[in-house]
Each structure stands twice: as structure tokens, then as C-alpha cells.
Structure 1
Amino acid sequence: MAEKFEKLGPIFEHIGHELGRIVGGDPDKTYLYAELQEGVVGAGVFKDEGNHVRYFDPSRALIDLLVEAWETEEPSKRWEVIEYEVLGTKFNAVFKFPDELNPDDYEDERRDVALHARYGDKPVIYPPIPYPTRPL
């Protein structure tokens, strides 16, 4: 058990640093919602900016760290959801396991519920969807 915590602690610390890099500086008030299954990762990074919350795309480095943390667990004990928040210089991680999730809900529905529970009706600002350009 101690060996697992020795490995997870640095991974979670690196996740916090990567969140700071993603949001452009101080990771305070940053929230990560991610779902992992074998071969699939869905993640979103959110930063409380006062009157609104801003969404950031996860980086490849963040995805790799999440997979690394997930793979430290024995396959029968792996969580499916991690909610990771940074407050000041500390972080908190909460896990949900497959038997705690409704299999009929989609990841984006669960994420919306988690965001509403955390931020209420505060608007979430997403970047505009880029339109593909076509060669002339």
C-alpha cells in the first residue's frame, strides 16, 4: 500500500503542475474532471475566474499522467472518474468507481452534473469550435 502512495503522490503533484501550465500560470481554483477506461480518456480542465468558469483542453502530458495514475491501480480496483481540484497550494482528488456510475449516462452528462454541483449556474466559457478550412 505504501508503495502505491509513493508512486501516486508524485504523479498527482505533476498533475497539479501541468494544470498550472495549461491555464497559463497559477493553478489555484483549477478543477479537472476526467473519465478513464481501457484505451479511452475524456478530460476537461476548468478555471474559476470569478464571474465565470473557463474551459481548457487537456494536454497530452496531462492525459499521460492520468493514465499513469489509473494504471497504478489493480485492474479490478480502478476508478473511472477523477475530480481533481487545486485550492491555493493544495490539491484534492475524489474518485468514482464504475459501480457508482449510471451506465446509461454519457461522460459529458456526468461532467455537466459535476460542474453544476461545483459552480452552480456560473457560466462556463468554452473556446469557439474551429471550422475546418478547405483548400481552394
Structure 2
Amino acid sequence: MRSTDIGSDYEELAHLIVEACGDATDGLFLYAEVEPGVVGSGLFQELGGRVVYHHPTRDLTNKLDEIWEKLDGDDRWHAIRCRVVGGRFSAEFDFPSDLKPGESLSERRPRALNAVFGDKRIEYPEL
């Protein structure tokens, strides 16, 4: 299935991002990588001079996996970067051919965060 055929799934993903951040509709960023059976994701909210991490909900993680499983061929991305700014949702994708060989999620995600938030400190909740 092509990305353009699942617009309603991306709309639902946007709602799940907003919901996971307490219904905030500005300054939200989701970075996720998906492989067969594995979803690695992080959800972040910019609040002034700081960035707060939110745990992605199970529904959000399941929606990412569901979207990815529906895609095939050239439309199947490896990573997705979603933003909600001023109530508007946007998504950018990295495809397997875009990735550097041998590079991991732990190397790519900080680079994506820096591109969005610069050097703002990220606050992670205590466990």
C-alpha cells in the first residue's frame, strides 16, 4: 500500500501524539524507527527553553507499527519524524537507503532532536 492511501492513519497518529502530551497542540516531536516486530520511539514537547520527554503510549506505538505494516516497496520508511506545531501535523521519513551503514537509533535520534530543538536540555521523567 502507498503512503498516500493511508492518510487517515497518519491523522489518527497525530491525535495520539497530542493525546500522549496532555492534549498539547504545539511544540511536539515524535521520532520513531520501525523494523519487523520492533518500534523504537520517543515523544518530546518543547516548553519554553526546555524539552520534556513523554513516554509514547501503547496505542501510539501500535499505530506506528500498524502504519508501517501497511506500507510496501518504496513507500516503507525506516524512520518517521512527526511534528505538531500550532495545531498542524507534519511528517518526514527516512528510508533504508537514507541510513548510514552500521549507525544505530542511539546515534540517529540525538541528531534528529538537535535539528528540531538545538541544544536545549531534554528532561526525562524519573522512573
Give me the TM-score of the superposition, normalised by structure 2.
0.91
Partner of 1:85, secondary structure, is: strand
Structure scoring higher RCO (CA < 8 A, sep ≥ 6) equals 2
Partner of 2:39, secondary structure, is: strand
Partner of 1:102, secondary structure, is: coil
User: In angstroms, what is the RMSD of aligned CA positions?
Assistant: 1.7
Partner of 1:93, secondary structure, is: strand
Is 1:88 the counterpart of 2:86? The answer is yes
Do the aligned residues in 1 keep the contact of 2:35 with 2:78 (CA within 8 Å)? yes
Which runs of structure 1 show a deviation greater than 4 angstroms over 4 or more consecutive aligned residues? Answer: none
Which ranges in structure 1 are unaligned for 5 or more consecutive residues? 131-136
How many residues align? The count is 127
Matches within 5 A, 1:103-114: 103-114=101-112
What residue number does 1:71 align with?
A: 69
Tell me the distance in 2 between the aligned counterparts of 1:105 and 1:22. 29
Structure number with bigger Rg? 1
Do the aligned residues in 1 keep the contact of 2:3 with 2:75 (CA within 8 Å)? no
Which residue of 24, 27, 34 maps to 2:25? 27
Matches within 5 A, 1:1-16: 5-6=4-5, 8-16=6-14
Tell me the distance in 1 between the aligned counterparts of 2:101 and 2:81. 18
AA in 2 matched with 1:87 = V
Do the aligned residues in 1 keep the contact of 2:28 with 2:46 (CA within 8 Å)? yes
Give me the TM-score of the superposition, normalised by structure 1.
0.86
How far apart are residue 75 of structure 1 and its match? 4.6
Tell me the distance in 2 between the aligned counterparts of 1:49 and 1:16. 19
Q: Percent identity?
A: 39
What residue number does 1:41 align with?
A: 39
Deviations 1:16-75 (Å, cap 9, x if unpaired)? 111111111223211000000111110000001011010011111001111111122115
